[in-house]
Amino acid sequence: MIVRLPPLAPGLRVGLYGGSFNPAHAGHRHVSRLALRRLALDRVWWLVSPGNPLKDRSHLPEAAARATGARAVAADPKIAVTDFEAGLGEGRLGIRYTIDTLRWLTERHPEVRFVWIMGADSLSSFHRWKGFREIAARMPFAVIDRPGYTLKAMSSPAARLLAASRIGEAAAPTLADRAPPAWVFLHGPRNSLSSTALRAGAAPRRQGATNRD
190-200 tens-digit pLDDT? 545 554 554 45
Query: Tell me, what's the pLDDT at 211?
Result: 36
pLDDT tens per residue across span 81-120: 999 988 655 557 888 899 999 999 999 999 999 999 999 9
Query: Tell me, what's the pLDDT at 200?
Result: 57
pLDDT tens per residue across span 45-79: 999 988 666 565 657 889 889 999 999 999 999 99
DSSP one-letter string for 12-73: -EEEEEEE--TT--HHHHHHHHHHHHHTT-SEEEEEE-S--TTS--TTPPPHHHHHHHHHHH
Query: How far is Cα 72 from Cα 74, in angstroms, rounded to an integer?
Result: 6
Per-residue pLDDT, averaged over 18-44, amounts to 95
pLDDT tens per residue across span 133-174: 999 999 999 999 988 899 999 999 999 999 999 999 999 999
Q: Which residues pair with 158 in a beta bridge?
A: none
- Model confidence, pTM: 0.86
Residues in CB range of 116: below 8 A, 6 or more apart: 15, 16, 18, 98, 102, 135, 139, 140, 141, 142
| Residue, of 150 and 210, whose pLDDT is higher | 150
3-state secondary structure of 196: helix
**H/E element holding 195?**
helix 195-199
Report the DSSP pairing between strands 166-167 and 183-186: parallel
3-state secondary structure of 80: strand
